[in-house]
Structure 1
C-alpha cells in the first residue's frame, strides 16, 4: 500500500515578549501573515508535485508522443492532444481458407486383403527398431490399421500418390473422394525401397489435383498441414511445424525425412504434407510412438525425393536402380564402406570384390560411408562400368564393376 506523502514539519514561532494590547494585536497580525505565507508555500510545493505526477502519467499514456510545451503563455497555440493508440485485434490463426482449397485433392484409401495371405513387411521397417512394433500392430489391429490409408491426386486424370505399404499385396483398393464418391483403384507402380506408390482411379474428369512444392525450401520452424484418414475415421487435417530436416530413422539407406510435430496417426500413411501456399512438400510415411498414436514424432518423405520417383513409376511401373550385389557396412579405420557379403554371380562377384574389402573410392568420389556408396550405386545406370578403389589387407586395388539391375524383390539386402 502506498504511503501518503509526508508534509514538512511545522516548527513553532520563537516566543515573543509580552506587549501592550495594540502591540500584541500587531504581533498577532504579523504572525498570522507569516503562517499564511508558509501555508501558501506548502500548497504551492505540493501542487507542483501533483502537477508533475499528472504530467508523467500523461506521458505514460501517450506512448511515443512528445510532451507538448507549456501553453500557459499567452499567444502560444494550445497543446496537441495525444492520438489514442488503438488496441490490435488478435485471434488464433485460421487455416480454414487453405483447407477448403486443398481438401478436394486428398483421398481416403480402403484396402482389402485375403486373410490367408501373409502381409509383407515393408522394406522401410525391416531390420529397424520399428519392425517389432509393426509386426505387433499387424497382429493386434489388422483390420483397423492396415486396411486404411490416405493419398492425394496429382493430375486431372486421377493418378494418386500414396505409400507402398498401404496398397502392397492388396486384393481390392477403394478410393473415397471428399464428396463421398467411391472408385476402385488400379495399381500403377510401387517402389519398396522408398515406400512410394502410385495408383489410379477412373473418376469424373478433370479431377482436382495438388501442386508440388519444393521441399528444399522448407525450413525448420515452418508451418505445415498434414491431411489424411487417421484410424479410418475419414478426412482430417492437423497442423504443426517442421521440427527437423534430414532425419535418418534407419528405415532404409534412402532415409532423408522431414520430422513433423503435426499429429500423424495410423491411417495418415500416404497423405500429403502441405506448406502454407497449399503445395505438397512431403509424403506422410511413419511415426515413432510408444503407444501407437501420435506423440509429435511424424516423418514425411520430402517432395524432392517423391516427385522424380512418382514420375518414373507412372512411366515404367517400377524403379530401375543400379546394383552390384554387395552387402555393406560403415568402416571406421579407414573411412569407407566395408563389404560383409557378396552375392553369387553378382556384378560385385564378377568384379572380384571380396568379403572384408573396404571400398574407399567409387569412380572419382571418396566413399565416406556405406550409405553414400549404396546411394551412388543405386543412382548409376545399369550397364555402366564403375571404378572401385579397394583396400585389402593393407594394399590398394583397382577393380572395374559392371552395374546390374537391382532385383525388384524386397528380400535382398545387397546393393
Structure 2
C-alpha cells in the first residue's frame, strides 16, 4: 500500500444519503472553434516595462452560447432514482432531497409502491440499445433502479455490472425504439484551462447543465489507490454523480464522481473519473458483468523519479516473479512510472495472468524482469 492518504475531507458525491454530485449528456456534436482571438504584444514605452515585447497571448474566448451543444447532448441525459422495498416514513426521507422536487416524487412513490427512495443520481446512454454508465456508489446498493429520460419516459433498469475499485457501473434499460447516445472523448488530450460542460440531476431538479473549465489533472483524493481525477470548476451538486463531463465536441471525457465541500453544496471544486479509465472498464462490465484487476502484492512508496518496493507479500505475484524489497521500478511495459499510483494503475489495467516487463534498479544495477500479474483479491489496497 502507499502512504496514508493526505486528504480525508473530500465529500464523495453520489445518490445515497451521503451522496453529492451527478450529471448527464447525449449526442456528440463537432462545434466550430471558438479559439481565435490574439491579443497584441504588451507595450514597451516606459522604462518600467519589459525590454522586449511579450509574445502574443492566445485567448480562448467564451462561446456566445452553449445551447447548440446542449441540444445535442441533453437527450442522452438520464436521471436515476434508487429504491429499496420496505415502505417509508417521515424519518426515512433522505436529508439530501428534503425541500427539493424529489421529495414530492418520493412521497408519491411511497403511497403507490411502498418503496423507500435511497437517493438520486445521473447517468448517460452510450448505446442506442439502452446501456447506461453511472457510478457504482449511485446504484451499487439498490433493489430497484428507475431511469427517467428527458422526454419524461420512465424505464426500469437492471444492473449489468459494477466495479467498486474505479467507482464505475453499467445499467441497462429496454426500449422499443433506439435511444439517443453519446460517445467517448480522449481524456488524455484534455488540458488544464479547457472548457467543459456537465449535465445531470442536481437536487432532483431534473436535467440541468453547468459549464466551467478543467482546473487540474491527476488529483488524488485518498479515496483509493487508483485515484486519478480530473478537477472541474463547473458547479456539481448532490444528484450529479454518474453524469458526464463533455468537451466542446460533445464527447464524454469524464464521469462526475465527487466534490469537496464543507456544506454539501458546490463550491466550485468537483472531480471526474477520466474517460481513459472509465471506457475500458465499461466494456469489461458490458461483456462480463465484472472486472478482474491485476495485482502484484506489494507495498510501494514514491522515490526520486521511480517507485520503491518497501514490502512484498509472501507467495504473492511479485515475490514469485522475483521482485524484492528495495527494488526501484522505473518503467512498466516500456512506460515510465514515477509514482506509486502510476504503477498501480498500470498493473490494475492488466488482466490476471498477463506478463509485464518491469525495468528496475537493484542495488544500483539496472535489471529487467518479466512479472506475471495476479488477480486482485477483494478489499486490498494494492
- What's the secondary structure of 1:185's corresponding residue? strand
Q: Name the CA distance, whole Å, in 1 between partners of 2:309 and 2:119.
A: 40
What's 2:29 paired with?
A: none
Q: Name the CA distance, whole Å, in 2 between partners of 1:352 and 1:114.
A: 52
Matched, 1:291 2:279: no
Q: 1:253 to 1:139 in 2, by over 3 A?
A: farther
Deviation of the 1:280 alpha carbon? 1.6
- What's the secondary structure of 2:327's corresponding residue? strand
Tell me if the contact between 1:146 and 1:166 (Cα under 8 Å) persists in the aligned partners: no
Q: Name the CA distance, whole Å, in 1 between partners of 2:341 and 2:126.
A: 31
Q: 1:104 to 1:249 in 2, by over 3 A?
A: same
Q: 1:280 to 1:373 in 2, by over 3 A?
A: closer
Runs (5+) with no aligned partner, structure 2:
1-61, 87-91, 99-116
Q: Name the CA distance, whole Å, in 1 between partners of 2:93 and 2:186.
A: 38
Matched, 1:359 2:359: no
Q: Name the CA distance, whole Å, in 1 between partners of 2:285 and 2:164.
A: 12
Deviation of the 1:264 alpha carbon? 0.1
TM-score (norm 2): 0.68
Tell me if the contact between 1:338 and 1:370 (Cα under 8 Å) persists in the aligned partners: no
Structure with greater Cα Rg: 1
Q: How many residue pairs end up in the alignment?
A: 296
- What's the secondary structure of 1:238's corresponding residue? strand
What's 1:35 paired with?
A: none
Deviation of the 1:246 alpha carbon? 2.7
Tell me which of 66, 78, 96 is aligned to 1:95: 66
Q: 1:367 to 1:359 in 2, by over 3 A?
A: farther
Kindly indicate which of the two structures has a greater share of residues assigned to strand: 2
TM-score (norm 1): 0.63
Deviation of the 1:243 alpha carbon? 1.7
What's 2:81 paired with?
A: 110
Q: Name the CA distance, whole Å, in 2 between partners of 1:222 and 1:172.
A: 37
- What's the secondary structure of 1:375's corresponding residue? helix
What's 2:13 paired with?
A: none
Tell me which of 239, 249, 270 is aligned to 1:267: 239
What's 1:6 paired with?
A: none
Tell me if the contact between 1:360 and 1:367 (Cα under 8 Å) persists in the aligned partners: no
What's 2:138 paired with?
A: 166
Deviation of the 1:321 alpha carbon? 2.1
CA RMSD, aligned part only?
3.3
* Aligned positions of 1:119-198 closer than 5 A: 141=95, 147-198=119-170
Q: Which has the higher contact order (CA 8 A, sep 6+)?
A: 2
Tell me which of 310, 317, 320 is aligned to 1:347: 317
Runs (5+) with no aligned partner, structure 1:
1-90, 116-137
